[in-house]
Amino acid sequence: MTAPLFGFGTSQEDERTEATAFGLPGGRVLAVAGAGDLPLSLLALGAESVTACDLDPAQLRLARLKATLPLVLDRHEALRVLGLAPAGTGERLRSLRRVTAALPAGQRALWEAHLPELARTGVVWAGRYERYVRRLRRLGGPPLRRRATALVTAGSLAEQARVFDERIDGPVLAAVLRTAFHPAVYRGRGLDARGLQHRERGRSLGRQYHGDLRLWCTGTPAAENFWLQWHLLGHPTGPAALPVWLTETGWQALAAREVALGLEHRDVRDALAACPGRYDRLHLSNVSDWMDEQAFHRLLRTAAASLRPPGRIVWRWLHVDRRPPADLGDRLVVDPTLGERLRLVDRFPFYRVVVATTTDARP
């Protein structure tokens, strides 16, 4: 099997969380690009501007490709190219050729070298994480498919809870999660080793996922949960279960704006420091998991100094709970109640959500 083309094919963040915390529409957003969906959704939801940066050029290439889709394809073609709707290899190949032809010259060759693979699976399934999820799903076979279908077709949250408790949860599931997400198995195969480097040894990620699984499956309507559907079924079941930028309204909003997504290959802290006063909203994904405490504190100090006040910051964490440095005092204030309230309705609630506001108070 060829090496994955990027780490993540799909953003793991539910844009509703950032949209609420940022008070969209409006706002000048600096975002970590990741797989590109979250920045595009914020743009579709009416952020005044969105600039996405990433340290990983492969993620930026993917975000650029996604940002190009509304300029070249119709929405249904785009869903098929991404691998979120069924399509034949030949059809995907023809659409992908049109997309790559619209990319900057320097970005075409790499995609074109992988066209057969991308056309076979759809673009998002070329990600390291997505390949891993697909393998796990295949292990679950038809029984998993039947149970996941029962979950997404349940007519109420109470029915979802019944399906989860009676047909999905149990010791077998707990054991599978503990094994699949054991660092010795998951590191490198499902996630870049850097993403796990700060996780406390001996704290089981599989057990943590299992602990939040009931909320994921029963806390919000599964029929409208893109993240749940592509993990468990491999594709969304309808227009209600798509990231906003891939809905009809979001697509039209992006097409009308000619996809004004800025993309920068740089550290998020450098992007902030280079433009003091330019941004007032900051989406940090879960970079705190990828950094040591000192680096994260430096990032927050730069954010407090560079965001136009009052600035809003959202970060998420899975592995390590990093707090702001004490020296920031009132210049960066976390609202724990809002963060937890947003997580409880987030459609991928495995990450803890932290919402902070910056002010221009000086020490």
Ligand X SMILES: C[S@@+](CC[C@H](N)C(=O)[O-])C[C@H]1O[C@@H](n2cnc3c(N)ncnc32)[C@H](O)[C@@H]1O
Which residues are near ligand X by CB under 6 A?
7-8, 12, 32, 34, 53-56, 59, 195, 267-268, 285-287, 289-290, 318
H or E stretch including 32?
Answer: strand 28-32
CB of 75 to ligand X, least distance (A): 25
H or E stretch including 355?
Answer: strand 352-358
CB of 353 to ligand X, least distance (A): 13
CB of 13 to ligand X, least distance (A): 7
Q: What is the DSSP string of 106-152?
A: HHHHHHHHTHHHHHHH-GGGGBHHHHHHHHHHHHHHHHHHHHHHHHH
Nearer to ligand X, 89 or 204 (CB): 204
CB of 190 to ligand X, least distance (A): 9
Give the pair of three-digit tokens for residue 63.
């975000």
Nearer to ligand X, 54 or 346 (CB): 54
CB contact at 8 A, 83 and 123:
yes
Nearer to ligand X, 58 or 333 (CB): 58
CB of 53 to ligand X, least distance (A): 5
CB of 290 to ligand X, least distance (A): 4
- CA distances (Å), origin 236, targets 80, 82, 217: 11, 12, 15
Give the pair of three-digit tokens for residue 286.
């879960």
Nearer to ligand X, 87 or 271 (CB): 271
Nearer to ligand X, 14 or 77 (CB): 14
Closest CA to 129 of 318, 355, 322: 318
- Residue spans of alpha helices (H) in the chain: 15-22, 37-44, 57-72, 75-82, 89-101, 105-113, 115-121, 128-153, 157-163, 171-180, 183-186, 205-218, 226-232, 248-256, 268-274, 287-290, 293-306, 336-345
Closest CA to 68 of 93, 103, 43, 96: 103
How many other CB atoms are found less than 10 A from the CB of residue 169? 16
Nearer to ligand X, 61 or 92 (CB): 61
H or E stretch including 357?
Answer: strand 352-358
d(CA 312, CA 28): 10
Residue nearest to ligand X (CB): 56
CB of 123 to ligand X, least distance (A): 16
Nearer to ligand X, 224 or 267 (CB): 267
Give the pair of three-digit tokens for residue 264.
């920068």
Nearer to ligand X, 121 or 302 (CB): 302
Nearer to ligand X, 59 or 100 (CB): 59
| Bond prior to 239 in cis (omega within 30° of 0) | no
CB contact at 8 A, 354 and 314:
yes
CB of 48 to ligand X, least distance (A): 22
CB of 35 to ligand X, least distance (A): 8
d(CA 321, CA 352): 9
